[in-house]
Every structure is written in structure tokens, then in C-alpha cells.
Amino acid sequence: MNKLALVTGATSGIGQAFADRLAADGYDLIIVGRRKDRLDAFAATHPGVTVRVVAADLSTDGGIDTVAGLCAAEPLTMLVNNAGVAHYMPLAELPADKARELVHVKVLAPTLLTRAAVVGMRERGTGKIINVAGMIAFSGPADASLMPRRAVYAGSLAHLVTMSQTLSAELGGTGVQVQALCPGIVATEFHARQGLDLSRVPRMSAEDVVTAGLRGLELGEVVCAPGVEDTRLLDAVSRADLAAFGGQSPALASRYRAG
């Protein structure tokens, strides 16, 4: 059976780089995006593999349901949840429709697509799921001088990291791998669409992000941080999280007791 991958947000950036790399590796593809013209152009330039084009908007329930149906019905070897929007702004200034769009695309869509794909992957005893998050997922403790104006965006990426870690544990021994891929700033159209000029900021290429994600799967990394050289930093975060989780008690902590 041919390898089959479904990639969301495949019209540019990291998603297109994933689609390119997987096609080169012999995967047949289901590519998902809002811009059908770009999807069709990709398919036309990759005649060596079967490419199915799905124009769908993952900010809508209908778009999510369409792609989730494919995830459930098709024998996917790999699912790459990459689609994204940013909407960088303080929560109080974030319009309700943009907040809804962001949560749909970066929280609800990857959750429901993963849910749909996992059942078949588990039954087949093999499969890979990559949830493209970002290092901003770890920025929660930063003050406003370092990382302002993106509370919902950062929270959505943190959801992907924690969901991936927990799901990886749930699927232990099944042959299904799960990864949260957490790049830093990447040279794509993503920031330009938000009106941000990062042309002078050092940025990683989308191709390098893909290389890290695929190699990270081979290494068994659940959290893959392409730009972090010292993996002890990631291990320290995990140990601190588990220490806090394990340090709880049914007794009220002394600092909350009346003096």
C-alpha cells in the first residue's frame, strides 16, 4: 500500500514544504487549503505522485467536518496539522470573529482531525501525526516587554503541545507516533499576512523545519524544537511540569490559609 499523507495549510510555508518533501519521499498526498488555485498548481507540478486537492476553510465547522471525514475514511500514514492564522493582538482588542477563527483553526481543527485519524491508525498499528505549534507555546511566563499581544495565539499553541504529549502517552505501544513541532520564527508568508515586516529578523527556512520534524520522529521526540540546540532545556521544562503536577495535595497550601 502506498504511503498517504494529509497536510493542512499546504498552500504556502511549512505546509507546502511538508507536501514537497513527502512527495519527494514517495507519499501520495491529500493537500488542504483555502486557495484552490495554489493547490491545483502544486498538484500540476508533482505528477510523480497522486495528489488529491481539497479546498476547505478550517475556520468553519463545515470545513473541519469535510477534512475530518477524509481523516476517518482514508488509510492515512501521516497527518500534518499545519493550517494556521495569527491575529496577534491583545485579547481585549481581538475581535470576536478573529478569536473564533483562531481557535477553530489552531485548536478545534487539529483536535478533531487528529481524533478522526487516530482510530484507523491505531487499528492499522502504524501512523504519524505532526501538530505544528511553535516556541511561543512556552512563552506564557514572559512579561509584556518580551512577548506581548498574543494571548489567544500562544494559548492555542500550548494546547497543541499538551495535547500531543498526552496523546503520545495514550497511544504508547500502538505504533502511532505524535509530535508537536515547535519552530521559532520561520521565513514564510505567515507574518507578512499579519502586516509584520520581519525581513531583517534571522529566520529559519520552512524546509529546515520539515527536516527537523521528520528527523524528530525518527528520534522519538514528542516535542520537536528545530532551533533549540540544547535538548536539556526541553527536558527541564518537562521535569518542572511533572514536579508541579506531582506536588499537589488535597490539603490547602499554607500560603492560602488565614493568618
Q: Are strands 127-132 and 28-33 parallel, antiparallel or unpaired?
A: unpaired
SS3 assignment for 128-154: EEEEECCHHHHCCCCCCCCCCCCHHHH
No. of H helices and E strands in the chain? 8, 7
Instruction: Tally Cβ neighbours within 10 Å of residue 170.
Output: 12
**Burial (CB count <10 Å: 0-12, 13-18, 19+), residue 139:** middle
CA-based nearest residue to 106, from 91, 92, 86, 88: 86
CA-based nearest residue to 197, from 181, 185, 183: 185
In the block, cell 493537500 appears at 31
Q: Which residues are catalytic, by number? A: 153
User: Taking CA 164 as the corner, what is the angle to CA 38 and CA 145, rounded to the nearest 5 degrees?
Assistant: 80
DSSP 8-class letter at 201: S
